[in-house]
Amino acid sequence: MRRTSRDIRVANRFEVLRHIVAARGESRSVSRQQIATDTGLSLATAANLVGELLDLGLLVEVGYQDSNGGRPRALVSINPDGGRLVGIDVAETYVHVEVFDPALTVLASVEEELHPEENRPEQVVRHIVSSFEAANVDPARVLGVGISVPGQVDTDGGVSVFAPNWNWHDVPLRTLLAGELNLPLYLDNPLRACLVAELWFGAGRGRQDVVVVNLGTGVGAGLAFGGELYRGATNSAGEWGHTTLVVDGRLCHCGSRGCVETYVGAPGIMQNLRDMAPTSPMLHPDDQTATIAALARGVAGGDPVAVKVVTETARYLGVAVADLINLVNPEVIVLSSWVAAQLGGPLLAEVRAVVDRHALRRPRAATDITLSALAGNPVSLGAATFALKRYLSALRTPLRS
Amino acid sequence: MRRTSRDIRVANRFEVLRHIVAARGESRSVSRQQIATDTGLSLATAANLVGELLDLGLLVEVGYQDSNGGRPRALVSINPDGGRLVGIDVAETYVHVEVFDPALTVLASVEEELHPEENRPEQVVRHIVSSFEAANVDPARVLGVGISVPGQVDTDGGVSVFAPNWNWHDVPLRTLLAGELNLPLYLDNPLRACLVAELWFGAGRGRQDVVVVNLGTGVGAGLAFGGELYRGATNSAGEWGHTTLVVDGRLCHCGSRGCVETYVGAPGIMQNLRDMAPTSPMLHPDDQTATIAALARGVAGGDPVAVKVVTETARYLGVAVADLINLVNPEVIVLSSWVAAQLGGPLLAEVRAVVDRHALRRPRAATDITLSALAGNPVSLGAATFALKRYLSALRTPLRS
Ligand SMILES: [Zn+2]
Ligand SMILES: [Zn+2]
């Protein structure tokens, strides 16, 4: 209840733009009247905010719409030439850069591999900078850069607080990058980036209570409650990968034992394979990507070891997903990131079966469990939406007095 | 964004009353100006809502306050004679009824024991009715009755959907009670009732992200995000007692295995004792209350078996509390209900030690873990606040045109 009028104005400005951006794929233009109806704002407020966004060049006027004999209504749409947003997904095995227009349509995409031993801050910074340069975007047109790094992030300070898989503690990433990329940089993590991508464009659209489960090298969950990203007290909510699945189980990078991540993250799945078939040709001991890809091919070809590894992985993942259903009672759980994309349908089917045995009936019946259907890289997309939000928040307000 | 103006008015009406009620224990009277400042409402809106609450007899004018040479400000306060609220805590081992004034001060309190075999719906209904009658409140003065029953509840339908410890499925409790108690009845569960009690009057006051862990026969968690109770998609969020602590572990009433509840609920703690010392005189096989009380006395007296049982229980509970910290990143976790009250300080100390080993450092440092400090029965208190909220929501709006 204690939001200031500035907070409310910034939130409404963002909400109007979000509404128009999220209409992507449907009608690409909208009237001020429709915006007011859809957002619950008064027509005067909606028109005023649309005016601001026109002044900023984020919207353009695109013509008129009949209104059943009344005065034709002016239509606005996102301006595809209205500046650029950059979303950078820094993962354990790659750096992925995407350039977007203000409608968050991808204009360019660059990926560089990261080798597991290349995890010192200055090495990662070098890859971020070189892949940004390879994306070939005019810095003068960039409104903001969103950067996702694994682990816990101090967003306001621009610091990677703890990245367990790299053993990073309090790395001042924004400061390290500032000399190289003289642009507004916004740091966050893949859990929250994926959540926001699903909420705007994916299975979370129009839903209130959403969980996006991120299955990569690390694992975690992005959470939305009441239709909004939930961050928790210190911006570290969603560390589901470090909740305990097996008391006194496998040792985890975080210092605890039996964490979900040690059974269903890419290295955990490799361990499941090693436990079952230590000499399997699918096992590439130093290459997570190759191992997961080999498993995916194995499952598709009916290889019994591959099928068994996926079943065993789903046995753990299904229990941990059932825990999310029982605790959070969401409308949808989306399986996202590269391991989910690779193991896809077979993993999903097994997970659903395990969840059916472990979750309470009523919340289970209310939860749709699905694979991410977003094209492209959801982490880059989410990181770019954070940059857009930050850009709008940083403007003086009101723009028109 | 799609709330109607009626929704907003009802929410603001409740918020103003909540603000004045929650001032209990501090200044007991407040000016319209102060309400406007504290809630972020305009003075005109605050004054209008105060007028409504005066008309309803929930507030009274109590005099004037100097305002530094300006016009003295009229003060209002909760009217202790303004109707009665009843909160009924139906637990597995007792029915507890409390009568409150509109400031939620307890006026009367009645408890009847429930024996484990007395769990058929008609038996439970009989105890609810007889303890309500023993509380001796004039029905004509009752604004509403909040009833908390264990398990999953369909609040709108007044149905107990699933109470695992009683094996209840879809019991239409409100209909069964309606013939006996011809009053507005509001059904919910102890997780949410305790959460709201802590949020208004306990360790959750003024905090945004709060978890109340309920340790009784069943266990679960009440959740608040952004300062508001979180219900989830089907009003069953918080079933933390049925998240898995041990894959393939102890069989649970819910049909799953290894649930948190089977290790740290009262019957689970009895099992911990039985596993360790099957012939212990502290073990009362058919009496949870007596066994937990004996353990509490044992720990206080330094009995090594009792100490070991509490340590073992805390080993499980601490891991499950660390999971809540990692996933939810709350500001405070409150241990509530009768088992927490009985085992108290010794359990809390052990739990904190286990959490320190299992939770991530940053969210751990931000979380206060504490025992409930509420006097009286928090479930009855929370149930009565639900009844108050329901009473205010059901009124036509605006009351003054
Ligand atoms: Zn861990
Ligand atoms: Zn269970």
CA A3 to chain centre: 27
A400 touches chain B (CB under 8 A): no
Residue A4: pLDDT over 80 = no
Is the peptide bond prior to B398 cis by the omega test (within 30 degrees of 0)? yes
How many CB pairs lie under 8 A apart between chains A and B? 157
Interface-testing mutation among B17, B165, B219, B234, with chain A (most A C-beta atoms within 10 A): B234
Q: Are B159 and B187 in contact (CB under 8 A)?
A: yes
A240 touches chain B (CB under 8 A): yes
- Using DSSP's 3-state secondary structure scheme, residue A371 falls into strand
Share of chain A above pLDDT 70, in %: 97
- Rounded distance, CA A393 to CA A8, Å? 11
Amino acid making up residue B361:
R
Interface contact flag, B40 A1, Cβ < 8 Å:
yes
- Rounded distance, CA B347 to CA B350, Å? 5
**Which residues is A212 bridged to in the sheet?**
A222, A334
Q: Which CATH superfamily hosts domain B205-373?
A: ATPase, nucleotide binding domain (3.30.420.40)
B238 touches chain A (CB under 8 A): yes
How far does A373 lie from chain B, in Å, by closest CA?
22
pLDDT of residue A1: 40
CATH class assigned to A5-78: mainly alpha
> In the structure encoding, which two tokens stand for residue B193, read together?
């009732």
CA A342 to chain centre: 17
Interface contact flag, B230 A232, Cβ < 8 Å:
no
Q: Which helix (H) or strand (E) holds A65?
A: strand A59-65
> In the structure encoding, which two tokens stand for residue A132, read together?
């940004």
Find chain A residues with C-beta within 8 A of B233's C-beta.
208-209, 329-331, 363, 366-367
- Rounded distance, CA A129 to CA A135, Å? 10
Do A5-78 and A84-193+379-393 agree at the fold level? no
pLDDT of residue A331: 98
- Rounded distance, CA A105 to CA A365, Å? 35
pLDDT of residue A397: 64
Q: Which residue spans within B207-282 are E strands per DSSP?
A: 210-215, 219-225, 228-229
Which residues 166-205 on chain A approach chain B with CB closer than 8 angstroms? none
> In the structure encoding, which two tokens stand for residue B395, read together?
């009124």
Can you tell me the mean pLDDT for A158-170?
90
- Rounded distance, CA A249 to CA B151, Å? 30
- Nearest CB to B246: which of A2, A247, A329? A247
Average model confidence (pLDDT) for chain A? Answer: 92
Contacts (Cβ under 8 Å, ≥6 apart) of A95:
A88, A89, A111, A112, A114, A124, A127, A128, A131
Domain layout of chain A by residue ranges: 5-78, 84-193+379-393, 205-373
Interface contact flag, B234 A162, Cβ < 8 Å:
no
Residue A13: pLDDT over 80 = yes
Q: Are A355 and A324 in contact (CB under 8 A)?
A: no
Q: Are strands B152-154 and B159-163 parallel, antiparallel or unpaired?
A: antiparallel
Q: How many other C-beta atoms can be found within 10 angstroms of the C-beta atom of residue B397?
A: 17
Q: Are B336 and B380 in contact (CB under 8 A)?
A: no
pLDDT of residue B93: 86
Q: Which ligand is nearest to the Cα of residue B251, counting in written order?
A: 2
How far does B195 lie from chain A, in Å, by closest CA?
15
- Rounded distance, CA B340 to CA B31, Å? 39
Side-chain half-sphere exposure of B58, counting CA atoms within 13 A: 24
Nearest CA in chain B to A360: B254
3-state secondary structure A205-241: CCCCCEEEEEECCCEEEEEEECCEECCCCCCCCCCHH
Contacts (Cβ under 8 Å, ≥6 apart) of B60:
B54, B76, B77, B78, B79, B82
How far does A65 lie from chain B, in Å, by closest CA?
24
Q: How many other C-beta atoms can be found within 10 angstroms of the C-beta atom of residue B7?
A: 12
pLDDT per residue over A105-124, tens digit each?
A: 999 999 999 987 888 999 99
Interface-testing mutation among A244, A325, A333, A355, with chain B (most B C-beta atoms within 10 A): A244
> In the structure encoding, which two tokens stand for residue A243, read together?
């909740």
> In the structure encoding, which two tokens stand for residue B2, read together?
């799609």
- Using DSSP's 3-state secondary structure scheme, residue B94 falls into strand
Which residues 305-334 on chain A approach chain B with CB closer than 8 angstroms? 315-316, 319-320, 322-323, 326-331
pLDDT of residue B1: 40
Q: At the topology level of CATH, where does B84-193+379-393 sit?
A: Nucleotidyltransferase; domain 5 (3.30.420)
pLDDT per residue over A234-276, tens digit each?
A: 999 999 999 999 999 999 989 999 999 999 999 999 999 999 9
Cα A255 to middle of ligand 1, angstroms: 6
pLDDT classification of A359: cutoffs 50, 70, 90: very high
B225 touches chain A (CB under 8 A): yes
By CB atoms closer than 10 A (0-12, 13-18, 19+), residue B302 is exposed
Measured CA distances, B315 to A7, A157, B319, B321 (Å):
44, 35, 6, 10
pLDDT per residue over A193-238, tens digit each?
A: 999 999 999 999 989 999 999 999 999 999 999 999 999 999 999 9
CA B194 to chain centre: 1
Residue A16: pLDDT over 60 = yes
Which residues 57-116 on chain B approach chain A with CB closer than 8 angstroms? none
What's the DSSP call for residue A104?
Answer: -
**Higher confidence at residue B67 or residue A369?**
A369
Q: Are B28 and B76 in contact (CB under 8 A)?
A: no
Cα A252 to middle of ligand 1, angstroms: 5
> In the structure encoding, which two tokens stand for residue B112, read together?
């009847």
Q: What is the Cα Rg of chain A in Å?
A: 22
Regions of chain B short of the pLDDT cut 50: 1-2, 401
- Answering whether pTM is above 0.90, one says yes
By CB atoms closer than 10 A (0-12, 13-18, 19+), residue A384 is buried
Measured CA distances, A25 to A201, B1, B82 (Å):
9, 22, 56
pLDDT of residue A26: 54
- Rounded distance, CA A252 to CA B313, Å? 23
B363 touches chain A (CB under 8 A): yes
Measured CA distances, A391 to A143, A182, A320, A394 (Å):
7, 15, 37, 5
- Rounded distance, CA A218 to CA A165, Å? 7
pLDDT of residue A12: 86
Q: Where are the alpha helices (DSSP H) in A71-147?
A: 121-135
pLDDT per residue over A88-102, tens digit each?
A: 999 988 999 999 999
Q: Which ligand is nearest to the Cα of residue B268, counting in written order?
A: 2
Contacts (Cβ under 8 Å, ≥6 apart) of A309:
A269, A272, A273, A276, A277, A295
Tokens 């939000």 identify what position? Answer: A389
- Rounded distance, CA A231 to CA B316, Å? 26
Q: How many other C-beta atoms can be found within 10 angstroms of the C-beta atom of residue B297?
A: 13
CA B397, B400, B401 angle in degrees (round to 5)?
Answer: 90
Nearest CA in chain A to B164: A360
